[in-house]
Amino acid sequence: MEQPGLLVDVTSLPLTEIEELPGGGLRIGALVRNSDLAASSLVRARFPVVAQAVLAGASAQIRNMATTGGNLSQRTRCGYFYDHAAACNKHEPGTGCSALDGFNRTHAVLGASDSCIAVHPSDMGVALAALDAVVAVTGPDGARRISLADLYRSPADAPDRDTVLRPADLITAVEIPGLPEAANSHYRKVRDRASYAFALVSVAAVLRVETGKVARVRLALGGVAPRPWRAHLAERELLGRAATEDSFRAAAEAELAPATGRQHNAFKPELAHRTIVAALRRLTTRTGAS
């Protein structure tokens, strides 16, 4: 699909380390392999949601090769994007979007536009969005840092540009801030097969419950939007509320109220609703906090 004029091999750059940051955070080199990231004892202890998200993606063989920077930069799996005969604004701006009235079962229900309803595919990105990760980038104008939330663009004006990265930009690392509550975190992915399939819906959740109430919560959704979707509305709804199934349902409802399904994906808002509730329930059950 891509026809680059120049191919640069970055695989020998020294960006393969996972380092500890002051305050309990981690700096993950852009060339850390997905398998190594998921196996890291630091990641598993401090940010289990990241390890679980990575292990929920692709296959063992792919994870052995795939890198942190590459996983975040992968393009959509929308079938029309890969079909030269289809209209696709992401592939060729101005041609239209065959998915709007086509087979849109896997497509977006939040944050899309009439120019593109493809979803972002990375599982890792969903977990990192929940954790307020920051992407370190270096380019012709020097180094800069971009929050993961700002890395991905809305498809409205230029759907062919997935991210705010500029030509010759290189992701060098991803930094996760120290978040003690993230030790109680979970990634739940719903898909057509138990393994080796992209998410229909996924949820990254972090929860701390104190005296029966939600003291800290972080939620992000995958498979529903053109970017990892941080569920701020649900988080606001939950903070300070009793950590009960009723609160979880109300929070999911708040987040998904604006969701719009199309012919084949109208099931997604309800599926996302249930997946949010299930992920939060799992975190309260594990801590015995509810």
Residue 209: half-sphere exposure toward Cβ, Cα within 13 Å: 22
Among 18, 30, 99, 127, binds ligand FAD (CB under 6 A): 30
Q: Which residue among 80, 152, 187, 198 contacts ligand FAD (CB under 6 A)?
A: 198
How many CA within 13 A on the CB side of residue 99?
29
User: What is the smallest separation between the CB atom of 259 and ligand FAD, expressed in angstroms?
Assistant: 22
Instruction: Candidates 55-63, 90-98, 150-158, 206-214: pick the segment binding ligand FAD (CB under 6 A).
Output: 55-63
- 67, 89, 265, 275: residue in contact with ligand FAD (rule CB under 6 A): 67
CA 172 to CA 179: how far, in whole Å?
A: 22
Q: Among 21, 45, 60, 65, which residue interacts with ligand FAD (rule: CB under 6 A)?
A: 65
Gyration radius from the chain CA atoms: 19
Single out the residue of 142, 132, 172, 156 nearest to residue 226, CA to CA: 156
One residue of 70, 93, 96, 177 binding ligand FAD per CB under 6 A: 70
CB of 116 to ligand FAD, least distance (A): 18
121: contact with ligand FAD by CB under 6 A: yes
Query: In whole angstroms, what is the distance from residue 50 CA to residue 165 CA?
Result: 23
Total residues contacting ligand FAD by CB under 6 A comes to 21
Q: Which of 154, 5, 4, 2 is nearest to 81 (CA)?
A: 2
Binding status of residue 29 toward ligand FAD by CB under 6 A: no
Q: From the list 35, 74, 113, 244, which residue makes contact with ligand FAD (rule: CB under 6 A)?
A: 74
∠ at Cα 67 (62, 69), nearest 5°? 140
Paired with 175 in beta bridges are 27, 134
- DSSP line for 36-85: HHHH-HHHHHH-HHHHHHHHTSS-HHHHHH-BHHHHHHPPP--TTTT-TT
Q: Looking at 25, 29, 48, 69, which residue binds ligand FAD (CB under 6 A)? A: 69
Shortest distance, position 71 Cβ to ligand FAD, whole Å: 3
CA distance 188 to 151: 23
Question: Judged by CB under 6 A, does residue 71 bind ligand FAD?
Answer: yes
Toward ligand FAD, which CB reaches closer, 65 or 239? 65
Min separation Cβ 152 and ligand FAD, Å: 13
**C-alpha 183: how far from its chain's center?**
18
Cα 75-37-31 angle, rounded to 5 deg: 60
Nearest approach in angstroms of CB 41 to ligand FAD is 22
* Distance of closest approach, residue 56 Cβ to ligand FAD, in angstroms: 7
Q: Using the rule CB under 6 A, is 184 a contact of ligand FAD?
A: no
User: Which of 49, 58, 88, 231: binder of ligand FAD (CB under 6 A)?
Assistant: 58
**Stretch of residues binding ligand FAD (CB under 6 A), selected from 83-91, 121-129, 147-155, 246-254:** 121-129
H or E element: which one contains 127?
Answer: helix 123-130
- Closest approach of ligand FAD to the CB of residue 273, in Å: 22
Q: Which amino acid is at 236?
A: R
Which residue ranges make up the site for ligand FAD (CB under 6 A)?
10, 30, 34, 57-58, 62, 65-67, 69-71, 73-74, 121-124, 170-171, 198
